Amino acid sequence: MKNLLEVQNLTKKYGSKIAVDDVSFTLEQGKILGLLGPNGSGKTTLLKVLAGIQHPNAGTAHILGNSIGVETKGQTAFLSDVNPLFTSMKVDDAIDFYADFFTDFDKVKCDELLDFMKLSKNHRIKAMSKGMIEKLNLSLIFARRARLFLLDEPLGGVDPVARERIVTTIIKTYSEDSSIIISSHLVHDVENTFDEVLMLHEGKIILSGDAEDLRSSHGLSINDLFVKTFQELL
Amino acid sequence: MKAVIRQQIKARYKIFLGNLILLSTVSLSVLVSGNANALFGGGSRSLLTYWLQIAFVAIYMGIPIYCLASLIKLIKSMVFQDTKYLLLSLPRRSYSIFGGTFLTVLLEFALYAVCMFFWLSLIAAVPGGTKDYFFAVLKTGSFLGNLKAIYYFIFIKRFSALIQIVTIMLIYGTYVAMVFNFSFSLFAALFKHKKFPKILTIVFIYFVFDISVRSLLALSSIGRASIWVPAGITGLLAIGFFVGTCYLFEKKIEG
């Protein structure tokens, strides 16, 4: 299958600190990649570079053959680990905002997702809980027909019911055309969605491969493998 | 840029309409209560006059201050809040995002200016009062005559002066706004993940203005240069600061 994302020798530094260290990997169309690692391992930085928010110090990243820039921002949907929406907005305003800026945004799909997430369009963002905001951001992201979805801690700080809805949305949104990268600490909740896994430690890749192959070769679930790998390292 | 302007209008129109309603209510009250002359020091004074004077000064000074404050801190919400992740992930260049926002505030400012001028012209056209001694144009003795004289004076007789004043205000206003926005971006880029150094920013802005004013005064004194020479240089500097702000926003704020 065609590679949607190609990352080669990518390095990102903050001053003298290396956040992402010479990372290379590819991601095929239609695949879901689990990006795993403890805090400070470089997951968020890697996602921000792929989203075009940060710029690498060395190496390259290509999405559908285009190097990261304004064009790839139109093909990439980034779910940040913080709420990036203007708090003065209502849900309706946020939908209009996305529809204005992203040509691939589908309002009908967004309505369906909001219904599924049990969110009202009249809610004011500043009055919404963390879980509701997470679900809203996820609905906005997945209402886009983007080619690459970058989800940074999509389950962070939400209750188990909301988590289940979010995971269901991720699975429902899966299509052969697009790929998803999910960064999460809550490996157990999302591991069944992974086709591939990439574990980062201090910015370097320490383990990567097909999720099923890793399960069978180590005789462990991805969650147990994650715990075992980082227990040895930390 | 159209999408940026549309979104900005949507975000700002309620405050804009509120201010406009306030401005019109106060101005209309001055007119219908017969206090147009009292406002300028003439006519009889009552408690209502004092209240109207306070409201009038507050609104007519408050709106320009609000606009200037909006202009100089445009980039602040873009670089110091989590909304920067949304803005930086948009498939738009930074000049389109920042420029579109700046143009919208400028348009809002222009609309306020037109409305303020409209109401002021009506208030000034009311015959009688001390203002007639200061403005030679107000000597027709009738409201409509005065109004016609004001508009004739400004839009026909002194139209080129009006254009020059508006252009100069636009250049220097843009310059001031860009210096502030550039400074915020610069310090946000330099002090990532740290507390925003307000004192350092104020000192930086002070030095930029100090150097600018000294340079422009020196330039103006050389051979009595036209006002357009320093204005042109200021305009170029404003463009430079705009480009610098856009560059910092796109490339350096998040690294």
- Please say whether the dihedral angle defined by the alpha carbons of residues A94, A98, A101 and A107, taken in this order, is positive or negative: negative
Residues of B in contact with A88 (CB under 8 A): 11
Residues of A in contact with B254 (CB under 8 A): 48, 53-54
Quote the tokens at residue A32.
């879901």
d(CA B68, CA B130): 31
Say which amino acid occupies A226: F
d(CA B211, CA A229): 59
Residues of A in contact with B90 (CB under 8 A): 73, 101-102
- Whose tokens are 């007639």? That residue is B132
d(CA A78, CA A152): 8
Residues of A in contact with B78 (CB under 8 A): none
Q: What is the pLDDT of residue B18?
A: 94
- Whose tokens are 């909740």? That residue is A189
Complex confidence, ipTM? 0.87
Task: Give the helix/strand (H/E) hosting A61.
Answer: strand A58-63
Tell me how close the Cα of B96 comes to any Cα of chain A, in angstroms: 12
Q: Are A70 and B92 in contact (CB < 8 Å)?
A: yes
Beta strand pairing status for A196-201 and A32-36?
parallel
Q: What is the pLDDT of residue B117?
A: 93
- CB-CB: which of A70, A76, A83 is closest to B82? A83
Quote the tokens at residue A135.
């679900």
**CB burial of residue A137 (10 Å; 0-12, 13-18, 19+):** buried
d(CA B35, CA B29): 8
Q: What is the pLDDT of residue B119?
A: 92
- CB-CB: which of B3, B10, B90 is closest to A73? B90
Q: What is the pLDDT of residue B130?
A: 61
Cα A232 from chain centroid?
A: 26
* Cβ(A3)–Cβ(A26) below 8 Å: yes
More confident: B78 or B241: B241
d(CA B189, CA B224): 40
Mutate to test the interface with A, among B81, B86, B191, B246 (most CBs of A within 10 A): B86
Residues of A in contact with B10 (CB under 8 A): 93, 96
Mutate to test the interface with B, among A79, A86, A92, A151 (most CBs of B within 10 A): A86
How big is chain A, counted in residues? 234
d(CA A185, CA A227): 10
Q: Which residue of B has its CA nearest to A78?
A: B89
**Number of alpha carbons in the 13 Å side-chain half-sphere of residue B191:** 14
Q: What is the pLDDT of residues B116-155, one digit of tens each?
A: 999 998 888 887 766 666 666 777 678 888 889 889 999 9
Angle between helices A222-233 and A211-218 (to 10 degrees): 70
Number of H helices, E strands in chain A: 9, 10
Q: Are A71 and B91 in contact (CB < 8 Å)?
A: yes
Q: What is the pLDDT of residue A184?
A: 84
**pLDDT tens across the length of chain A (234 residues):** 688 999 999 999 988 889 999 999 999 998 999 999 988 899 999 999 999 999 999 999 999 999 998 999 999 999 998 888 888 899 999 999 999 999 999 999 999 989 888 888 888 999 998 888 988 998 999 999 999 999 998 887 677 877 888 888 888 777 788 899 999 877 888 888 899 999 999 999 999 999 999 999 989 999 999 998 888 776
